[in-house]
């Protein structure tokens, strides 16, 4: 049956309404963590979200190979929130389940009007360097920061990440900048900074960790992160996309 006039317009409007209610396409990624030339672990995540709407992401970090034999570590996390029209991430919920090989821990954080509140945390004695979560307004969780950094972006939007993080105990900062183009690739200079909530020994050891991030064109026309190179306390390391 052919639709005409108002009937046709109502039909088109209904289809558009259904399409706009569909969740954003989920993006998946898997990276190998290579330390001193040896694959020591993996990072996998799946997430979705676009400016002006909600976002959600789940991720897992775990050791593998020889590193897993020496120390088995697993970190599972989930985060959700919203994005402003300009693409700024506004955290809402975060949870993690970690196993360091020595102990297991769970934690959870919620944000209300930008202010985080720790709703679940493993018990530990208070430390002199602990910080008040209420002082961390406008922060995002570590998984949201990772998603913002490693997800695909439109050409010309590379290296535009500058976020303040709070993981329930520590405050830190992650930023990208100084994009350089070479043979179709875009390379960003990045830095992770310890800000507060770390022990005096940690702060004396090192507070700034530089890294570089490389994008390449993806089949869908967007730019995709294919490698992150960094100096760690254990030596040169890379995240390499599979």
Distance CA(59)–CA(67), nearest Å, equals 20
Instruction: Answer yes or no: are the C-beta atoms of 179 and 200 closer than 8 Å.
Output: no
The reported pTM is 0.86
String of DSSP letters for 87-135 = --EEEEEEEEEEE-SS-EEEEEEEEETTEEEEEE-------TT---GGG
DSSP assigned state of 135: G
Of 8-17, 140-149, 158-167, 168-177, the least confident: 8-17
**Residue 207 clears pLDDT 60, i.e. is over it:** yes
Locate tokens 């040896």: which residue?
38
Choice between 53 and 9, residue whose per-residue pLDDT is larger: 53
Distance CA(38)–CA(40), nearest Å, equals 6
**Residue 205 clears pLDDT 50, i.e. is over it:** yes
Inter-residue long-range contacts of 175-180, CB under 8 Å, 24+ positions, other chains counted: 176/149, 176/213
**Residue 66 clears pLDDT 60, i.e. is over it:** yes
Choice between 65 and 230, residue whose per-residue pLDDT is larger: 230
φ and ψ of 63, to 5 deg: -80, 160
Residue 69: pLDDT band (50, 70, 90) is low
Structure tokens at 15: 């289809």
The pLDDT score that the predictor gives to residue 178 is 93
How distant, in Å, are the alpha carbons of 129, 166, 172, 199 from that of 135?
14, 10, 13, 18
**Residue 108 clears pLDDT 80, i.e. is over it:** yes
Instruction: Answer yes or no: are the C-beta atoms of 111 and 138 closer than 8 Å.
Output: no
How distant, in Å, are the alpha carbons of 72, 133, 174 from that of 43?
14, 27, 18
Domain residue spans of the chain: 26-241
Give the residues across from 217 on adjacent strands.
223
């Amino acid at each position: 049956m052919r639709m005409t006039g108002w009937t046709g317009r109502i039909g088109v409007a209904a289809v558009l309404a259904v399409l706009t209610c569909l969740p954003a396409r989920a993006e998946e990624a898997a990276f190998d963590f290579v330390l001193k030339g040896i694959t020591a672990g993996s990072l996998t995540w799946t997430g979705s979200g676009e400016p002006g709407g909600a976002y959600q992401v789940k991720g897992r970090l775990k050791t593998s190979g020889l590193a897993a034999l020496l120390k088995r570590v697993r970190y599972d996390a989930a985060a959700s929130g919203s994005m402003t029209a300009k693409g700024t991430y506004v955290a809402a919920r975060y949870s993690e389940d970690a196993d360091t090989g020595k102990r297991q821990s769970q934690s959870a954080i919620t944000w209300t009007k930008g202010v985080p509140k720790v709703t679940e945390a493993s018990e530990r004695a208070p430390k002199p360097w602990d910080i008040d979560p209420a002082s961390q307004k406008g922060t995002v969780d570590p998984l949201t920061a990772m998603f913002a950094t490693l997800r695909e972006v439109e050409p010309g939007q590379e290296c535009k990440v500058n976020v303040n993080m709070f993981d329930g105990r520590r405050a830190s900062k992650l930023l990208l900048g100084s994009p350089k183009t070479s043979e179709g690739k875009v390379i960003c200079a990045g830095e992770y900074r310890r800000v507060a909530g770390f022990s005096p020994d940690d702060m004396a050891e090192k507070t700034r960790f530089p890294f570089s991030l490389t994008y390449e064109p993806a089949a869908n026309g967007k730019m995709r992160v294919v490698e992150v190179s960094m100096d760690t306390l254990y030596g040169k390391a890379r995240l390499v996309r599979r």
